[in-house]
Amino acid sequence: MKKKILVANRGEIALRLIRAIQELGHAAVAVYETPDNEALHIRTADEAVWLGDGPRCDYLDIDKVIRAAKKTGACAIHPGYGFLAENPDFAKACEDHGIIFIGPPSKVIQALGDKVTARKIMQDAGIPLVPGTTSLAPGDAGVAEAVEFCRNHGYPVMLKATAGGGGRGIRRIDDEKQLKAEIPVARDEAQAAFGNDAVFLEKLVINPKHIEVQVIADQEGTTVHLGSRDCSIQRRNQKLIEIAPSLIPDQALVDRICDTAVQAAKAAGYFNAGTVEFLVDKDYNFYFMEINTRVQVEHTVTEMVTGIDIVRTQIKLALGKKLAFGQDDVKVRGYAIEVRVNAEDPQNNFMPEGGKTVAVYRSPGGYGVRLDGFAYQGYTIPEVYDSLLVKLTVHGFSWNETVDRLRRCLNNFVIVGPKTTIPFYLRVIDDPDFKGGDFNTSFLDTHDYLLEYEDFTSEGNKLAHLIAEIHYRQQNPYAV
């Protein structure tokens, strides 16, 4: 029966979700704030509900979203990533209003969102963890506890907000003096950012690889993994390039990590799609980090190598279907790389280019190329949202083929108007360490020279610049 499903998000992920909903023969309901007036997700959806002037408050307004679902008769809500996706109150509100939340139950979100609780669950299940504390006791007692931990395990450590996530609320501590000074600051910040001042410590794994595993479980508890991803190339804990599967040569180790992820999901009583994140140190020890209870930005690479549509599966599972495949059915073929094409100036500290209009937009195509974007020629990028314009995902049978395909696509991608991360990615993918799979989360810090590229560097572009000048000035100003 045709159902209505509300998409509580914007940008590329809203379009991604709408596509899956429509492919399943359902109707998609979009929601939007005023700055997104011109956004493509509104035009693509079957219906759209205006939430308010925003910015970034109406998309986060649980009541308004629930009302929009009620008003349009939507039976389910897909939250995407960000905004309300990992807010247990939202999942709870859906449950209370009899709306299907496409994701795990609110209790699971609650438990896994609290990092200390999550650590406890994993510890009990025998999942390897980075040495760490529970939430520190309030006041000086907590400081004393922290000092004691560091004396036992050594520095550096990470001071994290218990309620934090997505790379926010994390600071590195190198000695006791700094530890004592930073704890109160971190508490204040956590209170301000997450409404919860609890913080905890974790031993810092120096320059790890960031490896994560896509898991998916149905309501009967059947849980499978869809293989690994490497998301080590990050800028200040924000992922830029994601690869499936991991390039770690030891396949047995990768299998162990994947099995551990399934074990972790089961321990958490997980349902629907999620991601189990691990750190892998230079000696190939791996440690559980966290479970993301949502669809990830980088889910595309997993889809490309497994052929499994994760969002479609999410919806079907949420609507009560059982998993249609078992672990043995999941086969990883070749490699996929996703780059996040952001409207940012990499050479100006990745400053967002919001407010600019996309004067020309021409995307690459061809075999093994996938685009998840929402920009179009003439689109003015709102200044109030994130800077992701389009995710370019390429698939190839070998690693080299995949990198070659990505280079070709980046070279053929034409976006005029805002500056983008494309020229920077072109530099990254030609770096020998990248090509050799020899990278970890320190890649950008140790390869900062990759930012020293010149825009429009080709000789053809330079000469064209002079032609443009001769054209504009009506004569060659350098010749007279």
Partner 1 sequence: MERIVHGMSPSEALANLRQADGYYVTNTARDLSQSDYKNRILLHTDLLAAPAREEAGFFSLEITGGASIHVDMLRKQVDPFLKLELLREKMPNTMFQTLCRGINLFGYRPYPQNVIRMVVSEYAKYVDVWRVFDFLNHVPNMVAVFEEVQKAGKILEPAVCFSTGPEHTDDFYVKKVGEILDVTGQEIVLCIKNHGGLGTPKRIGDLVNAIMQKYPDLVVHYHGHNTDGNDVGRITAAVQAGAKIVDASDHAFSGFYGPPSILSAVNTLNEYGYQAIGLKEEAVVETSEVLRNQRQYYDYFESQFKGFDPTVQTHKLPGGAAGSSFEQATKGGFLDKMPTILHDELPKVQKELGNYWSVTPGSQILWTTAVANIQAGDRYANASWDLKNLLLGKYGPFPFYQPADWIYEKIFGSDWRQILEKEGGMDQIEDMDIEQERRDLAEKLGYQPTEQQLVNYLQHPNDAVAFFKFEEKFGKVYVLPPSVLFRRGGFKLGETIQFRDHYGKEHVVEIGPKQHDETGTAHVYLNVDHHERRYEFEPEVTESSGGAAKTVQLSKQEIEELARSGDYRAPFGANVCEVSVRVGDEVKAGDQLLILEAMKMQTPIKSEVDGKVESLAVKVGDAVKPGGELVTVK
Distance (Å, rounded) from C-alpha 298 to C-alpha 275? 10
Distance (Å, rounded) from C-alpha 189 to C-alpha 277? 24
Using the rule CB under 8 A, give the single segment among 8-16, 273-281, 394-402, 413-421 that binds partner 1: 413-421
Catalytic residue chosen out of the listed positions 10, 229, 235, 294: 294
Decide: is 414 part of the binding site for partner 1 (CB under 8 A). Answer: yes
Using the rule CB under 8 A, give the single segment among 89-97, 235-243, 271-279, 470-478 that binds partner 1: 470-478
Place of tokens 């994560």: 212
Distance (Å, rounded) from C-alpha 263 to C-alpha 224? 10
Of 251 and 412, CB closest to partner 1 = 412
Decide: is 475 part of the binding site for partner 1 (CB under 8 A). Answer: yes
Decide: is 470 part of the binding site for partner 1 (CB under 8 A). Answer: yes
Terminal-residue alpha carbon distance, the chain: 75
Using the rule CB under 8 A, give the single segment among 54-62, 310-318, 442-450, 458-466 that binds partner 1: 458-466
Of 348 and 476, CB closest to partner 1 = 476
Distance (Å, rounded) from C-alpha 338 to C-alpha 390? 10
Decide: is 478 part of the binding site for partner 1 (CB under 8 A). Answer: yes
Q: Which of 417, 423, 439, 443 binds partner 1 (CB under 8 A)?
A: 417
Smallest distance, partner 1 to C-beta of residue 422, A: 12
Distance (Å, rounded) from C-alpha 342 to C-alpha 422? 8
Long-range contacts of 59-67 (CB under 8 A, 24+ apart): 59/8, 59/9, 59/10, 59/31, 59/33, 59/83, 59/84, 60/84, 62/87, 62/89, 62/90, 62/93, 63/93, 64/31, 65/6, 65/8, 65/31, 65/90, 66/93, 66/94, 66/97, 66/99
Decide: is 423 part of the binding site for partner 1 (CB under 8 A). Answer: no
Smallest distance, partner 1 to C-beta of residue 434, A: 24
Contacts of 185 (CB under 8 A, 6+ apart): none
User: Within its chain, how far is the Cα of 244 from the centroid?
Assistant: 14
Of 144 and 359, CB closest to partner 1 = 359
Decide: is 452 part of the binding site for partner 1 (CB under 8 A). Answer: no
Distance (Å, rounded) from C-alpha 55 to C-alpha 205? 37
Decide: is 252 part of the binding site for partner 1 (CB under 8 A). Answer: no
Of 55 and 364, CB closest to partner 1 = 364
Q: x/- string (CB under 8 A) for partner 1, residues 159-198? A: ----------------------------------------
Decide: is 362 part of the binding site for partner 1 (CB under 8 A). Answer: yes
Pick out residues in 331-360 that bind partner 1 (CB under 8 A): 359-360
Whether 294 is catalytic is yes
Of 43 and 473, CB closest to partner 1 = 473
Of 152 and 458, CB closest to partner 1 = 458
Helices (H) and strands (E) in the chain, counts: 16, 20
> 228 near 213, Cβ under 8 Å?
yes
Residues involved in catalysis: 294
Contact positions vs partner 1 (CB under 8 A): 359-360, 362, 414, 416-417, 456, 459-476, 478-480
